[in-house]
Amino acid sequence: MFSTPVRKSITDLTRRKARASFTVLTLALAVASIGVFGVPAVMEQAMDREVAANRLADVTLTMKPLRLTARDLAALERVPNVVAVEPRTTFATRVYVGSRREEAMLIGVPDFGAQQTDVVAVAKGAPRAGSLLVEAANVRKGDFKGSVAKIVTADGSVRALPVSGQGRTLGGSSEWDFLTFYAPARTVAAIAGSDGFTSIGLRLNDAGRAAAETTVAAVRDQLRATTGFTAFGDLPTIREPGSYPGKTEFESMASILNVVSLLALISALVLLSNTMTTLIGEQTAEIAAMKAIGARGRDIRRIYLRTAGMFGVLGSVLGVALGIVISNLLVRYFAEFLFGIHAGFGVSPPVLVASLLVGLVGPPLAALPAVRRAARLPLNEALQASGSAVGGQGRLDSLLRHVRGLPRPVQIGLRSVGRRKRRTAATVLQIALAVATCLALLSLGSGVATSTRGWFDDNHFDVWIQPQAGKVLDADSGRAIRGVEGVKGAQPWLSNAVKVGGTEAQAWGLPARPLMDTRIEQGRWYSPADVTHATRVAVLGRTIAGTTGSAVGDRIRLSTANGPATFRVIGISANQADNGSVVFVPVSALQSVLGTTGTFNNYFLTTTTDDHALIDRTTTRLEDALAARGEQVGTFVNYDMREQQVAANANITMSITVLGLLIVAISMVALINAITMGILERTREIGVLRSIGARARDVRRIFATEGLVVALLGWAVGVPLGYAMARAIGWLAGNAVGLDIAFVFPLSYVAVALLGTVILALVVMLAPLRRAVRFTPGEALRYA
């Protein structure tokens, strides 16, 4: 059925089952690492499904509580381009979890059975009047347990509401880890003490920005015409078509993920090339025999390239399957972690094709140099090749021979490191790459934590108060705040969503001496005179300055909820407020632009103590005092935000580190491969050693020493490489998320990497070492 050369190619696959399995596994890992590039695409597919199922709003408008009748809503639905309208009532409050008060968000849904946008899916139980559904993600994370929620109502009293089930929305509980509850709109209105909707979600025919903005204007006009509506609380949130909450964050993470995948791919390709070289090298004598009986160079090339191709087919099939599994596991993890959703199964066709291409073409290409070398080897020399390397005579070998005083098995193992220099170098490189990646990712994690802490340490306030969207705090509120026991100072300011030349940002209208470090990098901060005269000057956060290409001295046009305004850039700040997408302006200037002179929607507060418990108590008193005035506010306690954000960032960097484990896995396969190949090549040698009295443990020590030395060399090369990589990944991650990430590279990580390398090397070598002593001396001597 097959010609003899084809049969030879096939039998080359099957006669060394262990080696063939390793080669296929290696290939599979290389192919699988390409599959990881498909994570963003598979996530996109999952999110598209999720967006469609959730009927995510294309535009969300916020406002002061507004009564809308069925007729009003029907009128809105008739506005051109509007497909569906869904009003919501949100109420930011507190809920008691045990004896602690936690921040909570109540979302009122008019009719759970007829939701038009941002669908709250009922995951468990059923919504009932006077009851709550708790966000499923809060339950999963363990933030909320129990069947009753004690909610602080608008008048400050506490009302216990039964929890009748669980609900779920896209991104329902991602922001600041609020506890989120869903309930019928009337239930929320009763707790909020105000009858009206605070937001409107719209689904549009044409969700493009221009069409969306026109529709928003038409909706505003319609509301003004039929209700007591005056203005939206903030700039409308227009979702880019195909976008979803948290997409930017995920894509930033995916860019780092891709770097790690690329490293994994490089590592796997090196391993592949090494494996193919060994495979051909072992058969040099056989190649010579074929040449001796008349095989031409091209016959030999065909045989081995065909074998490599067959490995490619097997590796591709396994690798593509593995890649799909890994990418789906990663997507599932990130989808649950970032968005609280269960991502379904997905495949990225372009990545699939690329995987197959690398899997099928890679092995013959990797084998080509070795095949060429073997085919060109003089016949006589090739006939004498044993497949096992003799002792080298190079400087390294000479150096290794001069290491004395070690037990003989250790000495033999040490010297064996130099016997296959190319293989040793490739294995060392792969381990180095793994060590370096781990060090770089550990460094990134620490850097992010340090930077996060640093940003919160820039804040000189203890508590930050923000009323519910669309509301403001007047002078009376300020007096009430200052009168609360434990409050030392209160600094009012104003914030609003703006656009700088089409890029979304936050305008922070602050006093001349804000309770935060302004971290001026270029130019200056505005003066008290600028504030007094409401001068239209701006200090840009570094991210927005970079995105818009603005520099000190430029004039920028801010689009605000009250129309456009021009400001002169006088400084660039490295403060990481809103991740650097912030425009600091004199508070009076922002008030003038928004037409809200004398009003504020934020307060920075200092307290009389540094004690966290006392700060918490002051915060509670503040909430109660304002609630008694009918003002619901969100309070952010600086120390608490700092801890939460550090924990959240640690989770993200941990997720990326998990992917780094793929590289570790590849490097460990490389080590197993190198040791197994060494054992296979030197099986006869093991037989000789056993024949002259070597015990199993002597043989194990020889190969364990060899493996450990290779692993340690990998660690030694990996440390400086890791240092460089940490710098590069830190820079890349900083650019991706627009944050200044501190560089942290403590010696303790180097020690941890050493320990990890040694332990992992010892663990992965267990199976090959067992194999080394599996044969009886007779079987080993006959091994060919």
Partner 1 sequence: MSELALGSEPLLRAVRPPLIELAGVEKVYRTGKLEYPALRGIDLTIADGDMVAIVGPSGSGKSTIMNMITGIDRPTAGTVTVGGERIDAMSEEELAIWRGRHVGVVFQFFQLLPTLSALENATLPLDFAHRGSRPERRERALHNLELVGLADRADYLPSELSGGQQQRVAIARALASHPTLVIGDEPTGNLDTTTAAEMFELLERVCREGATVLYVTHDMELAARAHRVVTIRDGLVVDA
* Sites of contact with partner 1 (CB under 8 A): 389-393, 397, 400-401, 407-409, 411-412, 415-416, 418-419, 684-685, 687-696, 698, 773, 776-779, 781
Kindly report the number of other CB atoms within 10 A of residue 528's CB atom. Answer: 11
Contact (CB, 8 A) for 239 and 58: yes
Residue 367 Cβ, how far from partner 1 at the closest point, in Å?
Answer: 27
User: Please, which residue, 385 or 565, has the CB nearer to partner 1?
Assistant: 385
Distance CA 684, CA 782 (A): 7
User: Please, which residue, 403 or 728, has the CB nearer to partner 1?
Assistant: 403
Query: Tokens at residue 232, please?
Result: 């939206």
User: Please, which residue, 418 or 509, has the CB nearer to partner 1?
Assistant: 418
Residue 381 Cβ, how far from partner 1 at the closest point, in Å?
Answer: 14
Residue 36 Cβ, how far from partner 1 at the closest point, in Å?
Answer: 40
H-helix segments, 36-142 = 39-54, 70-77, 136-140
Q: What are the beta bridge partners of residue 522?
A: 572
Residue 2 Cβ, how far from partner 1 at the closest point, in Å?
Answer: 20
486-523: b (≥16 Cβ within 10 Å) or e: bbeebbbbbbbbbbbeeebbbbbbbbeebbbebbbebb
Distance CA 376, CA 419 (A): 22
Strands 503-510 and 582-586, bridge-based pairing:
parallel
Distance CA 28, CA 38 (A): 16
What are the distances in angstroms from CA 127 to CA 108, 120, 164? 11, 10, 6
Residue 279 Cβ, how far from partner 1 at the closest point, in Å?
Answer: 22
Distance CA 82, CA 567 (A): 35
User: Please, which residue, 410 or 668, has the CB nearer to partner 1?
Assistant: 410
Dihedral, CA atoms, 475, 481, 482, 486, nearest 10 degrees?
A: 180
Contact (CB, 8 A) for 760 and 450: no
Query: Tokens at residue 97, please?
Result: 């979890």
Residue 251 Cβ, how far from partner 1 at the closest point, in Å?
Answer: 53
Distance CA 230, CA 683 (A): 87
Residue 782 Cβ, how far from partner 1 at the closest point, in Å?
Answer: 9
| CB burial of residue 390 (10 Å; 0-12, 13-18, 19+) | exposed
Residue 695 Cβ, how far from partner 1 at the closest point, in Å?
Answer: 5
Distance CA 341, CA 469 (A): 27
Query: Tokens at residue 301, please?
Result: 């090339």
User: Please, which residue, 206 or 698, has the CB nearer to partner 1?
Assistant: 698
Residue 775 Cβ, how far from partner 1 at the closest point, in Å?
Answer: 10
Dihedral, CA atoms, 763, 765, 771, 777, nearest 10 degrees?
A: -120
User: Please, which residue, 234 or 681, has the CB nearer to partner 1?
Assistant: 681
User: Please, which residue, 403 or 763, has the CB nearer to partner 1?
Assistant: 403
User: Please, which residue, 166 or 416, has the CB nearer to partner 1?
Assistant: 416
User: Please, which residue, 696 or 728, has the CB nearer to partner 1?
Assistant: 696
Residue 280 Cβ, how far from partner 1 at the closest point, in Å?
Answer: 21
Distance CA 672, CA 387 (A): 19
Using left for φ > 0, alpha for ψ between -120 and 50, and beta otherwise, residue 297 falls in alpha
User: Please, which residue, 239 or 415, has the CB nearer to partner 1?
Assistant: 415
CA-nearest of 681, 689, 699, 692 to 784 is: 681
Q: What is the DSSP string of 626-652?
A: HHHTT--EEEEEHHHHHHHHHHHHHHH
Kindly report the number of other CB atoms within 10 A of residue 405's CB atom. Answer: 6
Strands 148-152 and 100-109, bridge-based pairing:
unpaired
Residue 773 Cβ, how far from partner 1 at the closest point, in Å?
Answer: 8
Residue 418 Cβ, how far from partner 1 at the closest point, in Å?
Answer: 8
User: Please, which residue, 70 or 390, has the CB nearer to partner 1?
Assistant: 390
Give the per-residue SS3 of 394-414. CHHHHHHHCCCCCCHHHHHHH
Residue 396 Cβ, how far from partner 1 at the closest point, in Å?
Answer: 12
Residue 23 Cβ, how far from partner 1 at the closest point, in Å?
Answer: 22
